[in-house]
Amino acid sequence: MKSSRRSISTVALATIIIVVVVVAAVGGYMAYVSTRHHVTTTTTSTLTTTTTTTTSVPVTTTITTTTTTTTTPQVVTLTVADSYSSSENTAFNASLAAFEQEYPWIHVEVEYGAGVGTSPYTSEAQAHDAPIIIRDSSDSAGALFAAGILVNLSQYLPPSYFSRFNPTAIQDWTLNGSVYGLPDNINYIVMFYNKKFITAPPNTTDQMIQMAEQVNKSGVWGIAYGASDEWGYRFAAWFAGFGGQIFTTQNGMIVPALNSSAMVNALNFWYNLTYDLKVNYLASSTGAGGVEGQLFMENKAAIIFDGPWDLMPYFNALGCNLGAAPLPVVSSTGLYATPFIGSMGWSITTEQANGVPASQWNATLHAALLFIEFMTNYSNEYGLFKYAGDIPALNSAYSAAMQNLSAPTSNTTLACLHQVIKGILEQSQHGQKFPNIPQMSYYWNSFHQYASEFFAGEINAEQAAQGMEQAFISALQSAGYLSPVPITPSEVLTVPELPASRY
Amino acid sequence: MSSARDKLEGFIYFLPLFAAVLFLFLYPLLYSTYVSFTNMNLMNFFRHTYRFVGAFNYVLALRQHYISTLLINEVIWTLGSLIPMMALGFALALILNQRDLRGKSFFYAILILPWAFPGFISLLVWQGMWVYPYGFMNRYVLPFLHMPTINALQSVGDAWAELIITNLWLSFPYYMTVFYSGLQSIPAELYEIADVDGAGALTKFLRITVPSLRKTIAFVFITSFVFTWNNFYPIYVLTSGGPGISTETFIVYAYQQAFSYSNYGVAAALSIISTVITIVLAVVVMKFTGVLEGIT
Amino acid sequence: MKGRSRRLAYKALRLGISYLVLIVMAIWAIIPIYYVIMLSFSHVTKLLAVSIKDLVPTQVTLQAYRELLFGRFIPSIKAPDFPLWVAHSIVLAAATSLLSIALAMLAGYGLSRLDMPAKKTLATFTYIITFLPVTATTVPLYLLFAQLRLLNYYGLVLAYTPGTAVFAAFLAKLAIDSIPPDYEDAAMVDGLSRFGVFIRIVFRMAMPIVALTALLGFLGAYMDYATAYAFIGANSNQWTAMLGLYYLAGLYNYASAPNYNIFAAGAVLMGIPLMALFLVSQRMMTRAYSSLAGIK
């Protein structure tokens, strides 16, 4: 009895102590972690202020505040999120090999097949585990930059450096006067068509409908456009074609302008094509890998709206039957359907996001800058054009691409490809700037929810337009973009009444 | 005879589990409640600049009719799934229970496959089968049965049909099994006495079978109600809550708000609402079934 | 005479309808599984290209399996992906099993043998928790773990454990109730500590429950997708098998979806063992319940 009582108390005591220690550790750690963030934000701000004086210094010696002036640079490892397609990767891998040869002290770890968009990077940034270098689209990178996850490149690179790029592309990557990424292509959707069914591309929507009806008779879909899977990226072209715009300015504030007759007409137009004329197939997924693309590549759809990132799969499938042309003019308004002219580019994440220790940050940043400069140089951007048909954002590469396209060639396949690319380039004359303000990230969800309900016949176009606008406004208010002071519930109640939902 | 020491000892053994539950259920829920009163989202999550906004997220959810839509969807989803599932399971159990039926174990083994096969993987397969119009269901099966095709993008009714049919496939074996064992436990003498009294099949069914199984049916219904209410995967994989939000339930919508749109404040608010509802339902189950007595 | 033939006619009708229903149901139950198995042995590369011919096994090929097992879908990973994903899942599931066993057995012993203060409230509280599925707490846990830097495997194990452990703790309690306390009393008289008794005697005698807990914990962790995606979905080199399958089905990123028959092969390779494990766990559970039914 005695011995068991002693052993009971030691076990009990030990367990109690362990539990108390664990609880204290967890609580203390949480407190520590929450304060630590504030500490690091102050250190990054001091770092940026000290380097403002070096902006006029040539690129290779930007970080003069580092203490390491040794001749052999510190070995640095860069983690890169590569979102290139497989044909683009042919160019990228060649550039990567050249980079590693020129800078043997920089080790590069590439994650292929990385996604585009904000969510993967924010969760990684949360865990201080984001890759050091990412390749993203200008708008979602804009959201990341506004969220404090990306490095402000204007602090390290002179304005003259940016003028080497297409001005629209750099504009895409500028927010409040700061550049947050270097573009490696410009992109937008175009109208791809199958020459087997359509001999000459339509110039107006009326012509497009006529051709689609013709094609439909032979059992092939005239158009494959998954408007209900849309998040508003491609639909924006049609919205603009009917005279609409996403944002307007009111009293100096940027507000959404989705609720307009342009939206109603654009929605009804596509509804008409899908359900009344039945020339459009409402695909459940977009792009070359989705249902739309698969139909197109199997000669089961004549027209598809997609971008040059999918050029190679389509060309491989259709060969010289592939054609590309700008989106048609909307017959009822006489306006071109103008797609977003966006841009993909390389950015660097902040040390808070990628968790690189402060002692190594300067060297890492230096290496990262070298990397993104290298990947947006003439040879990589021209390579992307050569292997994947991407439109270069660097002026010198763009001119070389134009020259290449105009040069005569005896290779018929190449000639066909050049035709297609020329068609793609024509679209660049009729495009709209891709808004990269943080407000833009709330557009997608608002559009998608009401557009998909509309295409399912649950609400009519007026309700859809009102609904999306309302959802957009609410999201902006909730994020603090539409009101400088915290919202009190009474303010919400003064917002106009929502249209009756189906309940 | 339990001394204070014995009581403490018992508590220590229970402590690790209790601590786990506290830290991994209660504390996150409390933290989540806190977040639901802030405007935490992508922009300010990282910089810790989110602000306390009171009940804004909840008011927003009410104002935008999210809560009412989600509640109605939940009811459609739970009742719409449970009623066919239980009816089908019961019918199959009755069929299998016939004494003069041959090949029972063969049929039972095949019929139990949908439930035994991992649900998530089945859903991935079903998702491919429902693609309109080239998936297997819309291309071959439905035309073969002379039934209209189902396009979940085109109509909300179709989307629900797709969800309920798939959910039925996934779960009917469970109900079949439960009701079958329930039927097996009804003593045969009851039926024999009824036969002697000259009762018909329908009378036997209504007077013997149903009353004996009443408790089982009720228990199964209530527990399955709670399970289906929180059933995440079918809706997430098949329709993602679409078109729009017409097939969204609380749990799917909260997940999407958090991980697709980074609206953490809104996601937290919806999670809390859903959790509260589940807890209320759980308490109802507990009181109703008295299951806790057997445990403590 | 008429009555007899009438009864025979009834019987024939009843059995005829029964068999018909059973056969139709069996076909419906088995179609998706048959479909995915046939696809895994076929040459079909795109979902849209699946035709009815592919369901007839004229040309059986193992190409999909070979590509699945040796293929590299995500080029930055230096090894074949699928085995890596499975390895990750197994590690995760095994860790969850172990932790669940520890928590559940300790708690079950405490509940059974030793007198605890406020036993009923604690038990009620933890029982309510079991009604919340893992996905219900995904958002709160994510928000909390993001602050604690637990968005990794450790966090996943912690997220999975309580669900299984709580349920298993009650089963353990019931099982330990049925073990006569004489062995332990004798051992303690001989000088063994309470904890020693627990490990040496009770744990061994309650092995069936231990095995059941291990299996439930393993399955619960293995088959989860939602929490794994939320925590580690962004790092493709940390993916579990379920995340990999979602990717193979083309739902993660359409543009980089591999061939559809590779997905089918993955579904079959994962589905069949998991199905077997699930059936085993169900059998163990019924056995556990029936052996405990005598106690009440």
- Counting other chains too, the contacts that B101-106 makes at CB distance below 8 Å and 24 or more residues apart are B101/C15, B101/C18
CA separation for the pair C5, C11 (Å, rounded): 10
pLDDT in tens, A464-475: 999 999 889 888
Better-scored residue on pLDDT, A64 or A252: A252
Within 8 A of C106 by CB-CB distance, chain A residues are none
Q: Answer with the residue of higher pLDDT: A369 or C43.
A: A369
The rounded distance, in Å, linking the Cα atoms of A114 and A79 is: 12
In a mutational test of the A interface, the residue from B21, B24, B38, B56 whose CB has the highest number of chain A CBs within 10 Å is B56
Return the minimum-mean-pLDDT range out of A498-502, B115-119, B139-143, C48-52: A498-502
| Euclidean distance between CA atoms B197 and B199, whole angstroms | 6
| C283 within domain boundaries | no
Tell whether C189 is covered by a domain.
yes
User: Does A337 score more than 80 pLDDT?
Assistant: yes
Which residues are within 8 A (CB) of A386 and not within 5 positions of it... i.e. 6 or more apart?
A91, A404
Taking 60 as the threshold, does the pLDDT of residue A27 lie above it? Answer: no
Could you tell me the sign of the dihedral formed by the alpha carbons of A391, A396, A399, A401, in that order? negative
Query: What is the distance of C-alpha B66 from the center of its chain?
Result: 20
The answer to whether A443 and A414 have CB atoms below 8 angstroms apart is: no
Q: What is the DSSP string of B72-127?
A: HHHHHHHHHHHHHHHHHHHHHHHHHT-TT-S-HHHHHHHHTHHHHS-HHHHHHHHH
Query: Which tens digit of pLDDT belongs to each residue from C235-267?
Result: 777 899 999 999 888 887 666 678 888 999 999
Q: Are C193 and A287 inside 8 Å of each other by CB?
A: no
pLDDT band at A320 (very low <50, low <70, confident <90, very high): very high
ipTM: 0.89
Among residues of chain B, what percentage have pLDDT more than 90? 32
Among B252, B278, B279, B255, smallest CA distance to B267 is for B255
Whether the CB-CB separation of A133 and A79 falls below 8 Å is answered with yes
Whole-model pTM: value is: 0.80
Q: Which domains, ranges and CATH numbers included, belong to chain B?
A: 64-295 (1.10.3720.10)
Given pLDDT bands bounded at 50, 70 and 90, which one contains residue A5?
very low
Task: Give burial (CB, 10 Å; 0-12/13-18/19+) of B3.
Answer: exposed
Question: Angle CA(A114)–CA(B251)–CA(C248) in degrees, nearest 5?
Answer: 35
Decide if C75 and A128 are in contact by the 8 Å CB cutoff: no
Provide the number of structural domains found in chain C: 1
Q: Which residues of A touch C230 (CB under 8 A)?
A: 123
Do B20 and C28 count as a contact with CB atoms less than 8 A apart? no
For residue A451, what pLDDT is reported? 92
* Interface check A29 vs C, CB under 8 A: yes
C-alpha angle with apex B53: B51 to B56, nearest 5 degrees? 145
Nearest to C220 by CA among C75, C79, C89, C129: C89
Give phi and psi for B295, each to the nearest 5: -100, -40
The verdict on a CB contact (< 8 Å) between A12 and B8 is: yes
> Is pLDDT of C25 > 90?
yes
Over range C127-155, report the average pLDDT.
83
CB contact under 8 A, C260 and B128: yes
B131 vs A8, A149, A291: nearest CB: A291
pLDDT at A410: 81
A 254-273 residues inside an 8 A Cβ radius of C: none
Q: Is the dihedral of CA C34, C37, C41, C45 positive or negative?
A: positive
The whole-angstrom distance between C152's CA and the closest CA on chain A is 9
The secondary structure element, H or E, covering residue B257 is helix B250-259
Q: Is residue C81 included in any domain, yes or no?
A: yes
For residue A319, give the amino acid letter.
G
Provide the 10 A C-beta neighbour count for residue B75.
12
Count CB pairs under 8 A between chains A and C.
83
Q: Are C116 and B14 in contact (CB under 8 A)?
A: yes
Classify residue C29: in a domain, yes or no: no
Residue C31 located in a structural domain:
no
- Residues in CB range of A155: below 8 A, 6 or more apart: A48, A51, A52, A55, A178
Angle CA(A57)–CA(A58)–CA(A62) in degrees, nearest 5? Answer: 65
Give the amino acid at B269: A
**By the CB < 8 Å criterion, does B76 face chain A?**
no
Write a three-state SS string for A127-188.
Answer: CCCCCCEEEEEHHHHHHHHHCCCECCHHHCCCHHHHCCECHHHHHHCEECCEECCEEEEEEC
Tell me the pLDDT tens digit for each residue of B264-291.
888 999 989 988 988 888 888 777 766 5
And the tokens for A126? 């949360």
The DSSP H or E segment spanning A336 is strand A335-336
Residue C154 lies in a domain: yes
Sign of CA dihedral A488, A489, A495, A498: positive
What is the pLDDT at residue A306? 92
Mean pLDDT across chain C, nearest whole number? 84
Domain coverage including residue C172: 71-258
Res C252: pLDDT: 77
pLDDT tens for A115-149 read 777 666 777 777 777 899 999 988 888 888 888 88
Average pLDDT over residues A57-69: 38
What percent of chain A has a predicted confidence (pLDDT) above 90?
38
Residue of C nearest to A37 (CA): C147
CATH number of residue C196's parent domain? 1.10.3720.10
Q: Could you tell me how far CA A479 lies from the centroid of its own chain?
A: 20
Per-chain mean pLDDT for chain A: 79
pLDDT band at A42 (very low <50, low <70, confident <90, very high): very low
User: B touches which chains (3+ CB pairs under 8 A)?
Assistant: A, C
Residue percentage of chain C with pLDDT more than 70: 92
Q: Which residue has the higher pLDDT, A104 or A389?
A: A104
β-sheet with A322-325: strand ranges across: A280-281, A221-224, A301-306, A190-194, A322-325
Is-contact A307 A185, C-beta < 8 A? no
The verdict on A15 touching C (C-beta cutoff 8 Å) is no
Closest Cα in chain B to A7: B9
C-alpha separations of A16 from A227, A382, C21, C114 in Å? 61, 67, 61, 17
> In the complex, which subunits touch A with 3 or more CB pairs below 8 angstroms?
B, C
- What is the mean predicted confidence (pLDDT) over A427-443? 85
For the ranges A4-18, A278-292, C113-127, the lowest mean pLDDT is seen at: A4-18
| Mean of pLDDT values over C218-244 | 89
The reported pLDDT for the residue numbered C249 is 87
Is C48 part of any domain? no
Query: Any idea what the Cα angle at residue A344 is, between residues A343 and A345, rounded to 5°?
Result: 120
Residue B178 pLDDT greater than 80, yes or no: yes
CA closest to A81 among chain C residues: C76
User: How far apart are alpha carbons A240 and A263 in whole angstroms?
Assistant: 9
| Chain C residues with beta carbon closer than 8 angstroms to that of A119 | 234
DSSP secondary structure code for residue A232 in this structure:
S
Average pLDDT (B234-241) is 92
- Please name the residue of chain C whose CA is at the shortest distance from the CA of residue A82: C76
Q: pLDDT, tens digit, for every residue of A201-223?
A: 999 999 999 999 999 998 899 99
Residues of B within 8 A of C32 (CB-CB) are: 114, 122, 125-126, 129, 169
- Residue A63: is its pLDDT beyond 50? no
Q: Is A251 exposed, middle or buried (0-12, 13-18, 19+ CB in 10 A)?
A: exposed
**Contact with chain A for residue C148, Cβ under 8 A:** yes
Question: What average pLDDT does range A298-304 have in this prediction?
Answer: 91
C27, part of any domain: no
